[in-house]
């Protein structure tokens, strides 16, 4: 029972006791006084009537007239004139013993009995008759009843005012408790809120101070673990001079792109090598050479700032050698990218950062899922060698050796449009299980295949790049969400569905998605919407987006996590259901101790705020055993189960 209800009941009980005590004390004192008044009233009437009848004792008509006159003018039960000699009633008037406007239970409770009085009628010195008068307590009972009602109404009014004032005062005094509840709820949602305004009540002030200290301590512990994890990630996967990824992370991501999976797609790998770095260092000095290297690094960073390029990975291999991994980039766009980089490098030379000509050479090669990484890197070295042999054009795009016919952009557009319009889509499901017990399924990740004109299911890695180029990502996500919700209506088990960065940036399509989710609140516990860490919008927009999605009742998860661990402080305010660690940080974790340390640091940071971790792309038993030892909550990958239609 709430404090407000307890206060209301306490006020009611107090008023009941106060009214009952006041009523009974007043009743006892009023009864004796009223009985005396009734007795005096009856006696005065009897005396007055006896004196009046003394002169008319021999006139029966006059006696009756005078008795009726007295009876009708007062509150009497009865008036009798009795002959003393033979006790014969000469005149008698009676009234029914009914009391109007007063409940019977009140009459019984007060128990106010009639009082009587008498007087003698004389003829000279002889006693002739006796007058007996009995008073009626009706008037007194009505007054007592009105007094009781007035007291009750007044006490009820005081009670209502007391309850209203007490409720307002209680609400005001307990407002810090409501804020502390929000503090606790925020901690459960991985948010850290402090109450800047302390209550005036000393008892509540101490509690609020203790809660603030606890929140600040948790925030400090989480920040410490996040900082430690970020330092480990930077030491293992980041170049210290440029801030780009190092060769190790590039190799891991390239290996991911070359794996054959539902999400695998063709792409290009670009390598940039600064000419004569040793000679530049001798002629210009280490400071200017480092400035040139940093400028090239900033150039590659700038290329990946566009939302559609967030999945690209710029890296510094060593010295003056840089790489740029561009998933889903076709040949025409790769050529335009090479021209853009060459023009920017020429500007570096013209501004005096370098006095060599040209500044660097570029090689670009295509890669395909399933081919060995060594073959891709060998072709890339060949492209760089050819670029050095042609100083008139400092970049070479090595032609793709695959001569099999490929559909044109017009063909892709037609059949993707037809598939999305007519719902030619097939859902695939990949299990996500508990790490400690792989028989316990947490949810299934929803993947999609579109049916081509021949009815063959095409994996997402082949058509997703074209959907992105055509600007249909939001349309595809909406179609996927509709198909997934339709599936959940008939099959009630937990699922997870990815939303693309383009959908998050398209406010019109996002509003349609929110309306669709709000129309099916009963499915909210069964569906988690996943956002790619590499496609997150700015923090303010991301927070508004997450609150909009959370308000629908559906959960939010973050996939491919690990590359931006420094932003985890912002992610704590999103109310995430879980984090999925990028498979690049999981691959061969049983063979590399620094990967183990990095994942352990992530686990410590997220475990402090009770945020579950799920490892992606677990391929070997050794990887599974290692992440199980680290305490990771969930796991997914081909070792657990490949995507399959249900």
Query: Based on the domain organization, do 333 and 418 belong to the same domain?
Result: no
407 pLDDT more than 70: no
State the average pLDDT over residues 548-564.
85
Query: Based on the domain organization, do 434 and 570 belong to the same domain?
Result: yes
Q: Give the highest mean pLDDT range of 281-285, 402-406, 477-481.
A: 477-481
Backbone angles phi, psi at 364, to 5 degrees: -130, 130
Phi-psi map region of 499: left, alpha, beta (phi>0 left; psi -120 to 50 alpha): beta
442 pLDDT more than 90: yes
User: Could you tell me which residues are beta bridge partners of residue 613?
Assistant: 579
Q: What is the CATH number of the domain that holds 85?
A: 3.30.110.200
Q: What is the pLDDT of residue 352?
A: 45
Q: What percent of the chain has pLDDT over 70?
A: 89
Q: Which residues of 349-368 are buried (b: 16+ CB within 10 A; e: fewer)?
A: beeebbebebbbbbbbbbbb
Query: Is 392 inside a domain boundary?
Result: yes
State the average pLDDT over residues 543-551.
83
Query: Based on the domain organization, do 437 and 584 belong to the same domain?
Result: yes
According to DSSP, the β-strands at 313-318 and 245-246 are: parallel
d(CA 212, CA 279) in angstroms, rounded, equals 59
Q: What percent of the chain has pLDDT over 90?
A: 13
Q: Which tens digit of pLDDT belongs to each residue from 116-137?
A: 788 887 777 777 788 888 877 7
Q: What is the pLDDT of residue 406?
A: 58
Query: Based on the domain organization, do 413 and 368 belong to the same domain?
Result: no
Query: Is 75 inside a domain boundary?
Result: yes
Query: Is 287 inside a domain boundary?
Result: yes
State the average pLDDT over residues 36-61.
77
Query: Based on the domain organization, do 588 and 475 belong to the same domain?
Result: yes
493 pLDDT more than 50: yes
| Predicted confidence band of residue 621 (pLDDT cuts 50, 70, 90) | very high
366 pLDDT more than 60: yes
68 pLDDT more than 90: no
| Cα 578 from chain centroid (whole Å) | 14
| CB-CB contact of 637 with 619 (8 Å) | yes
Radius of gyration of the chain (CA): 47
DSSP class of residue 238 equals B
| Predicted confidence band of residue 351 (pLDDT cuts 50, 70, 90) | very low
Query: Is 103 inside a domain boundary?
Result: yes
What's the sign of the alpha-carbon dihedral 180, 185, 188, 192? negative
Question: What are the structure tokens assigned to 364, written together?
Answer: 């670009």
Q: What is the pLDDT of residue 583?
A: 87
Q: What is the pLDDT of residue 100?
A: 66
Q: What is the pLDDT of residue 331?
A: 85
Q: What is the pLDDT of residue 523?
A: 92
Q: Give the highest mean pLDDT range of 176-180, 355-359, 464-468.
A: 464-468
Query: Based on the domain organization, do 152 and 255 belong to the same domain?
Result: no
Q: What is the CATH number of the domain that holds 279?
A: 3.30.70.270
Query: Based on the domain organization, do 146 and 269 belong to the same domain?
Result: no
546 pLDDT more than 80: yes
Mean pLDDT of the chain: 81
Question: What are the structure tokens assigned to 493, written together?
Answer: 């088990």
Query: Is 223 inside a domain boundary?
Result: no
| Predicted confidence band of residue 306 (pLDDT cuts 50, 70, 90) | confident
Query: Based on the domain organization, do 386 and 444 belong to the same domain?
Result: no
| CB-CB contact of 320 with 293 (8 Å) | yes
Closest to 319 in 3D by CA, of 349, 297, 334, 301: 297
Local structure of 613: helix, strand or coil: strand
| CB-CB contact of 348 with 354 (8 Å) | yes
Query: Is 258 inside a domain boundary?
Result: yes
Q: What is the pLDDT of residue 628?
A: 92
Query: Based on the domain organization, do 346 and 424 belong to the same domain?
Result: no
Q: Which range of residues forms the domain containing residue 584?
A: 409-645
Query: Based on the domain organization, do 125 and 27 belong to the same domain?
Result: yes
Q: What is the pLDDT of residue 526?
A: 93
Look at the chain and report how many structural domains it folds into.
3
Query: Based on the domain organization, do 385 and 430 belong to the same domain?
Result: no
Among residues 160, 181, 216, the one where a domain terminates is 160
Local structure of 427: helix, strand or coil: strand
Q: What is the pLDDT of residue 473?
A: 86
Q: Which residue has the higher pLDDT, 100 or 211?
A: 211
State the average pLDDT over residues 18-36.
71
Q: Which residue has the higher pLDDT, 363 or 282?
A: 363
Q: Which residue has the higher pLDDT, 98 or 50?
A: 50
Q: What is the CATH number of the domain that holds 527?
A: 3.20.20.450
d(CA 10, CA 429) in angstroms, rounded, equals 59
d(CA 644, CA 31) in angstroms, rounded, equals 92
State the average pLDDT over residues 597-626.
87
429 pLDDT more than 90: yes
Query: Is 79 inside a domain boundary?
Result: yes
Mean pLDDT lowest among 187-196, 197-206, 467-476, 525-534? 187-196
Query: Is 183 inside a domain boundary?
Result: no
Q: Which residue has the higher pLDDT, 188 or 352?
A: 188
Q: What is the pLDDT of residue 560?
A: 87
3-state secondary structure 130-164: EEEEEECCHHHHHHHHHHHHHHHHHHHHHHHHHHH
| CB-CB contact of 416 with 450 (8 Å) | yes
State the average pLDDT over residues 496-500.
91
Among residues 131, 160, 189, the one where a domain terminates is 160
Among residues 105, 139, 160, the one where a domain terminates is 160
Q: What is the pLDDT of residue 446?
A: 93
Q: Which tens digit of pLDDT belongs to each residue from 585-595?
A: 888 898 888 88
Q: What is the pLDDT of residue 176?
A: 72
Q: What is the pLDDT of residue 96?
A: 67
294 pLDDT more than 80: yes
Angle at the Cα of 424 (from 420 to 425), degrees rounded to 5?
A: 90
Query: Based on the domain organization, do 312 and 364 belong to the same domain?
Result: yes
450 pLDDT more than 90: no
């Amino acid at each position: 029972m709430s404090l407000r209800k307890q206060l209301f009941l306490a006020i009611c009980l107090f008023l009941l006791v106060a009214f009952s005590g006041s009523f009974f004390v007043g009743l006892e004192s009023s009864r004796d006084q009223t009985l005396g008044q009734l007795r005096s009233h009856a006696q005065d009437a009897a005396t007055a009537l006896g004196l009046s009848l003394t002169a008319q004792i021999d006139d029966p008509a006059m006696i009756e007239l005078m008795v009726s006159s007295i009876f009708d003018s007062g509150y009497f039960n009865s008036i009798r004139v009795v002959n003393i000699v033979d006790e014969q009633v000469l005149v008698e008037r009676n009234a029914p013993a009914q009391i109007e406007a007063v409940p019977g239970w009140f009459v019984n409770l007060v128990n106010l009995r009639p009082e009587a009085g008498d007087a003698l009628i004389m003829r000279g010195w002889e006693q002739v008759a006796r007058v007996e008068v009995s008073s009626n307590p009706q008037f007194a009972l009505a007054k007592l009843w009105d007094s009781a009602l007035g007291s009750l109404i007044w006490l009820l009014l005081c009670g209502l005012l007391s309850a209203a004032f007490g409720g307002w005062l209680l609400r005001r005094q307990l407002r810090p408790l409501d804020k502390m509840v929000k503090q606790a709820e925020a901690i459960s949602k991985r948010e850290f809120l402090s109450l800047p305004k302390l209550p005036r009540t000393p008892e509540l002030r101490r509690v609020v101070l203790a809660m603030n200290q606890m929140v600040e301590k948790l925030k400090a512990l989480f920040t410490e673990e996040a900082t430690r994890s970020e330092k480990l990630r930077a030491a293992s996967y980041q170049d210290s001079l440029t801030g780009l990824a190092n060769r190790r992370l590039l190799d891991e991501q390239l290996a991911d792109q070359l794996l054959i999976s539902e999400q695998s797609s063709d792409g290009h790998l670009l390598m940039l090598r600064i000419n004569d770095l040793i000679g530049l260092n001798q002629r210009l000095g280490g400071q200017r050479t480092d400035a040139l290297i940093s400028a090239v690094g900033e150039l590659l960073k700038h290329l990946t700032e566009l939302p559609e390029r967030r999945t690209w990975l710029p890296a510094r291999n060593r010295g003056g050698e840089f790489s740029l991994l561009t998933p889903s980039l076709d040949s025409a766009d790769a050529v335009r990218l090479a021209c853009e980089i060459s023009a920017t490098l020429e500007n570096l030379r013209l501004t005096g950062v370098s006095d060599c000509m040209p500044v660097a050479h570029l090689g670009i090669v295509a890669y395909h899922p399933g081919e060995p990484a060594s073959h891709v890197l060998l072709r890339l070295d060949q492209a760089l060698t050819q670029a050095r042999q042609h100083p008139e054009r400092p970049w070479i795009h090595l032609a793709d050796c695959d001569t099999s016919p490929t559909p044109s952009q017009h063909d892709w557009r037609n059949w993707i449009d037809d598939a999305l319009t007519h719902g030619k889509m097939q859902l695939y499901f990949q299990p996500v299980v508990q790490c400690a017990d792989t028989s316990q399924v947490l949810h299934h990740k929803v993947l999609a295949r579109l049916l081509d004109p021949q009815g063959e299911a095409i994996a997402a890695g082949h058509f997703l790049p074209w959907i992105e180029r055509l600007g249909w990502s939001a349309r595809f996500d909406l179609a996927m969400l509709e198909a997934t919700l339709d599936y959940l209506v008939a099959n009630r088990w937990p699922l997870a569905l990815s939303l693309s960065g383009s959908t998050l940036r398209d406010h019109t399509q996002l509003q349609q998605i929110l309306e669709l989710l709000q129309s099916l609140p009963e499915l909210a516990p069964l569906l988690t919407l996943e956002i790619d860490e590499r496609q997150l919008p700015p923090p303010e927009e991301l927070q508004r987006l997450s609150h909009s999605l959370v308000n629908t009742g559906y959960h939010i998860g973050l996939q491919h996590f690990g590359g931006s661990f420094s932003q985890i402080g912002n992610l704590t305010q999103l109310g995430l259901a879980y984090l999925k660690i990028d498979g690049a940080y999981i691959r061969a974790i049983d063979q590399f101790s620094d990967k183990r340390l990095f994942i352990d640091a992530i686990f410590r940071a997220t475990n402090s705020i009770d945020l579950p971790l799920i490892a992606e792309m677990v391929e070997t038993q050794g990887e599974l055993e290692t992440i199980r030892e680290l305490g990771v909550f969930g796991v997914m990958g081909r070792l657990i189960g490949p995507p399959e239609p249900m």
